[in-house]
Homo-oligomer: A and B are copies of this chain.
Amino acid sequence: MKGYDKGALAELHVLVDHVGPYHAGQYIFRAGEPFEAIAAVRAGVVKTFIDDSLGNEQVLGFSLPGEVIGLNAIHGERYPCNAVALDTVSLCRISFPRLSLLATRMPTLQAKLFSLLSAEIGKAAVLAANYRTEERMAAFLLDISARYSRRGFSANRFNLTMTRSEIANYLRMAPETASRVLRRLSDDKVILVNQREIILLQPERLAQMAAQDDANA
């Protein structure tokens, strides 16, 4: 990082608010609430979701340590989704109005924010691409793996904090199907499953599966 003068850096530090811990099941924010801050996950896993007209849950994604939540709330000035802690969660909360004010005086911060927002666009499309359940699951596991790896955690061994139903909901499949697919991957010695702990035995085979993608031309 360069281009930050000391005063601005100090100001940035002042904006950060350490909040939590939230415990499993606690809401971090709810859909419809006025937007005021984004937050970086420091520890734990956050699930974002919306409830449709029938009260059914629609999982939008999971946020791991180091990732930012609330970015989709800038537009509209209200949170468009709920965020709930799946286990014990700590956050760094940052007032968005103050952050963007600071960004006007700190071009590198502004650029960082543009980049952060841009990166978020189309992330959901990655999983939607594969239409076979096995491919989506493989892509999901690799995605989680890569995201943990990027933050310094093990790439081949991690804990899925969420339930099978939540995974299934996110991947648009029935919970039973999620269970069966994991069983199959486990039987094929591609992964090792112990409750919610996953060990990737053959990541390259997962990658192959995820890429099977026979999109209709």
Q: Which residues of A contact B (CB under 8 A)?
A: 31, 50-54, 56-58, 60, 71-76, 80-81, 100-101, 103-105, 107, 110-111, 113-125, 127-129, 131, 165, 168-169, 172, 174-175, 211, 213-217
Beta-carbon contact of A80 and B174 below 8 Å: no
A110 to B102, CA, bound (A): 11
Q: Which residues of B contact A127 (CB under 8 A)?
A: 128
> Out of B75, B104, B110, B124, which one reaches A116, CB within 8 Å?
B75
Beta-carbon contact of B101 and A57 below 8 Å: no
Beta-carbon contact of A114 and B113 below 8 Å: yes
> Out of B75, B115, B129, which one reaches A74, CB within 8 Å?
B115
Residue of B nearest to A174 (CB): B216
Number of copies: 2
Q: Which residues of B contact A124 (CB under 8 A)?
A: 122, 124-125, 128
A119 to B71, CA, bound (A): 9
Beta-carbon contact of A118 and B217 below 8 Å: no
> Out of B110, B114, B169, which one reaches A216, CB within 8 Å?
B169
Residue of B nearest to A165 (CB): B216
Q: A118-B117, A120-B121 are in contact. Are A128 and B216 (CB under 8 A)?
A: no
> Out of B110, B118, B121, B128, which one reaches A110, CB within 8 Å?
B110
Residue of B nearest to A53 (CB): B211
Residue of B nearest to A35 (CB): B118
Q: Name the distance in Å between A141's Cβ and chain B's nearest Cβ.
A: 18
Closest 8 CB pairs of A and B: A52-B215, A74-B118, A117-B117, A75-B119, A75-B118, A128-B128, A80-B217, A56-B215
Beta-carbon contact of A81 and B117 below 8 Å: no
Q: Which residues of B contact A103 (CB under 8 A)?
A: 104, 110
